[in-house]
Structure 1
């Protein structure tokens, strides 16, 4: 029996994370759900399984880089190689650059950017050995239009954009695809920023023929 491909979603909370999970599950992927909110991902796991999909949930704090690495190793050992890595984790910290404390900012940056770097580094050796794989990073318009009251998130989304560009440059001669989906608005069901519409963008980027970095803007 052929093993289902694996889609790993870090930041698989309600809304967009769940919508991405369901979109890839419909295509036959086993979904590995990772999030800091254990109750939320357990609920998503149950809903996906009730719908006949393969899904497993694990709690993790993306700011805990050692714990994140340990869990990623455990998942690869148990479920096999990851075919699609989706990094959707984010931490909202209200505050501007003149008053945000250093430690909360560093924690947010670990979640927003460094966790994505660690996850990509962890998955890339297996992807490269197999000659296939997709890395999808959730971006935001704060990268282009920062807001003073969301200083850490603005710098985080700028960091995600830069990380995607650097990964793409390094991996340009390989089959590994790197994409970033930039969401230029607040995610609200029933609007043009409906999470299910955005999830369709993630699937579209994954299934495109590889070119230069795939930047998909949801505007």
Structure 2
């Protein structure tokens, strides 16, 4: 049975991804900080006879994250798909923000992603297959001052993902960064189940270089979702989103 490890297994997108992969025949390992919420999520997923394991760890804590990844691969088997969905979502403008806080939040928004990918990539290369999927965001493409720290993390994560893609794709391992450019809510254009279906596609039938970066911005959705009052409309140049 193939194995999916999900770092940042929270409600919404995280649980929808876990549900999609268990329904597709994967064993799923869940990692996040809150043990009680992880246990409850694992219980809901296991009601459908899924094989689910979990381990509580802060993605920004190198020792804890390494330990969680090791424990889950020991119990479930080698990782076939890694999904890094962890992030610190705390607003502060570029002038308000303390540099020490940026450093602390990058431990989750960027460094944990690097550690997790480095942990599973060698086994994937050895087997000649696998997928590593990073949850990005529109802030990597056009930052806004209130979300400076998260924007820095997402921009760096985008670069990291593209570097991993260039190194690993020739060895049979697909890497994608998925920018979710909107507010996740059931029934809307950014419905968690629809987003999870895209992660499933990228893990199982990726389209090569065309899928090294996937930008989820459905037609008609607001590209200024990070600036709803349009305070920065005259100083922003929003990209042409692909999806």
* TM-score of the superposed pair, with normalisation by structure 2: 0.85
Q: Is 1:53 matched up with 2:86?
A: no
Whole-Å separation in 2 of the counterparts to 1:172 and 1:11 = 24
Q: Structure 2: which 5+ runs fail to align?
A: 218-243
Number of corresponding residues:
216
Q: Is 1:214 matched up with 2:215?
A: no
- Per mean C-alpha deviation after superposition, the further-off stretch among 62-71 and 209-218 is 209-218
Equivalent positions of 1:33-44 (< 5 A) are 33-44=30-41
Report the structure number with the largest CA radius of gyration: 2
Aligned twin of 1:20: 17
Aligned twin of 2:134: 137
Q: Is 1:30 matched up with 2:27?
A: yes
Whole-Å separation in 2 of the counterparts to 1:22 and 1:191 = 19
Q: Structure 1: which 5+ runs fail to align?
A: none
Aligned twin of 2:152: 155
Query: Pairwise CA RMSD of aligned residues?
Result: 1.2
Aligned twin of 2:237: none
* TM-score of the superposed pair, with normalisation by structure 1: 0.94
Q: 1:103: Cα distance to partner?
A: 2.5
Whole-Å separation in 2 of the counterparts to 1:104 and 1:70 = 25
Whole-Å separation in 2 of the counterparts to 1:20 and 1:148 = 30
Whole-Å separation in 1 of the counterparts to 2:12 and 2:34 = 13
Candidates 183, 191, 200, aligned match of 2:197: 200
Question: Does the 8 A contact of 2:169 with 2:175 survive in 1?
Answer: no
Question: Does the 8 A contact of 2:82 with 2:131 survive in 1?
Answer: yes
Candidates 106, 116, 119, aligned match of 2:103: 106
Whole-Å separation in 2 of the counterparts to 1:140 and 1:79 = 30
Whole-Å separation in 1 of the counterparts to 2:70 and 2:206 = 29
Whole-Å separation in 1 of the counterparts to 2:186 and 2:207 = 30
Equivalent positions of 1:84-95 (< 5 A) are 84-95=81-92
Whole-Å separation in 2 of the counterparts to 1:96 and 1:162 = 23
Aligned twin of 1:128: 125
Q: Is 1:9 matched up with 2:6?
A: yes
Q: Is 1:62 matched up with 2:56?
A: no
Q: 1:210: Cα distance to partner?
A: 5.1
Aligned twin of 1:170: 167
What per-residue deviation string (whole Å, max 9, x for no partner) do you get for residues 87-127 of structure 1? 00010122122221223221211111110000000101111
Q: 1:71: Cα distance to partner?
A: 2.1
Question: Does the 8 A contact of 1:93 with 1:105 survive in 2?
Answer: no
Question: Does the 8 A contact of 1:38 with 1:59 survive in 2?
Answer: yes
Aligned twin of 1:76: 73
Aligned twin of 2:226: none
